[in-house]
Every structure is written in C-alpha cells, then in structure tokens.
Chains A and B, each alone.
Chain A
C-alpha cells in the first residue's frame, strides 16, 4: 500500500507542472490566481499522501487543515482586492 501512495504522489507532482504553465503564461491576474489555487489543491493531496508514506499521519493531517485554510484565505483576499480596484474606476 505504501508503494501505491508513493506512485500517486509522484504522479501528482508531475501533474502540478500543468497549472504551473497557466500561472507563468496566464494573460491576466485572475488566470494566474486560478492556477495558484489549483496548485494548492494538489499540494494538499500530496501532503496527505506523504503523511501516509512516513506513517506520521497524525502530524500531517493538521498541516493539511492549516494549508486548506491558507489557500482559501489567499484566493478570497486576491478576489476582494480585484473587486476594490473595479469599484474605484
């Protein structure tokens, strides 16, 4: 079962490079933020699988919960910032 978790974690690490292209080459700020959110989602899965690979899931679950909160707060903050710019003009 540990080999299976390792395989899925390596596969998701390769998949992360696809939204990274959107972050680098996105035409606008919103596209880049969308790609950053997608990268955060995949990172949560990878953290959970690393916890099972190292048999320290009691520690890594809390890290995943904190990472989910930070990802949500970051995207909401950028969205509020864009809305404030749109309201000013």
Chain B
C-alpha cells in the first residue's frame, strides 16, 4: 500500500516576492503514521501544508503524495488522496446546510445520490454530530463547526488527513473530544499545530520547523523534552511536561532561575 505515504526530497519554495518559505525539507511519512508539524510563527508550517494539497508547487525538489509526484498535472489526484482541514472552518463551510456541505465533496466526486446520503450520515456519525444535519453551518458553535469541517473531509474517504491547527478556537472539552476523535482515525495524519500537548497526545512523531528548515524529526516525546532544541526553535515545553506552578514541585535551575512561571504562586501568597 503505497498510496498513504508522503515523501519530500529537498523541498524548496520561495514566494514570488523572493521571501523564502521553506528550504531543504526532506522527510518520509509512511502509512498510518501520525505526525505533528510544529514550529514558531513564520517557521514555514503553512507553506509546507499548502504543498501537501497541491496549492503550491515546489520551486525545487520533489514531493510524492501517495502514488504520484506532485505536479500541476496530477493536482486533482493528489487532492483526492489528501483530505485537508483548514484552520478556519468558516473558509470550508459554505453551503446552506450541514448536509449539503458534507455532501459537497462526494457529489463532486460523482457518487450517486443514495451513496452520498450514506457517506454523509456516516461521516457525521463518526465526528459525533448527526443531529446537526439540517442546521445552517454559520449558526453552529466553534466546536460544532470544526466537527462538521472534519466530516466534510471524511465524507470523501481520503487516505491522508492534513490539518491546520485543528485545536485552535476550541474550548477545553471540545479540544479533548477532538483529540479522542483524531486518535480513533486510522488515516495517515499530518497535523500542523501550536498545541504541543495535543501533539504529545495524538502524534507519535514530530517534525520541528524553524526558519523554513527541518531542525528535528523524531519521536514526539523525545523531541518535546529537548529544551535546547525547543529554545532554538522558538517553542516551549508542552504544559503536561512542565511541573505545575501552583501545586507541583518547583525545580530550581542551578543558576537560580526557576524554569516555571512563578507569578501565580506569589500572587496567591500575597493575596
């Protein structure tokens, strides 16, 4: 099964105005892997993601998605393989009702109406919102919108799921629900995120980007504990790997600076 893989070799992209988006990016993501792409703002995450759905074509190097190298000619086949969930669900949901929206992809693929009906219902059930079927999308809450946006991609049964910041703008419970949902998918997943805790929960592998390059690629748990690497890439340790500033033990660094935030504790004591 080679159609679930993503392979980048020496990927370069510069924007028309000369700004370098990404450079010398190489990685191989195999079937069923779940990979987090992390990096500070402007590290090149979005540029990289836009290559994965064929919106941008690399200026140098090659990207293979599934069975095809990415070129202008087979963009359609690539988009059929990759399901892309956008950062802002409002960009993705535009039909008058949730049902129409989730049916948009399957209808474009040319499925007969009764099959469309089944796969829409299935997709909505997978993300746990079959009751929203007839609601207009612009009246949903943030979490519901995100669920529907994911369903609208699932209904096309893609082999690879690519998500841009799926946990942004979600309340804690909706975020937890999303994490459970993502863990239940067997697709190859590529998730660009600032939510490093979600990366720890969902992705066994992490690729760290900094200034357009890959600075590290390896097991999530290992990379996200490497403080030197995180510092260099403009990131911070996931909260669940930090000691709790309020109730946990405070570890003092040898130089006397605490590696945790002290302000709340002082605030509590003086109050």
A binds B: no
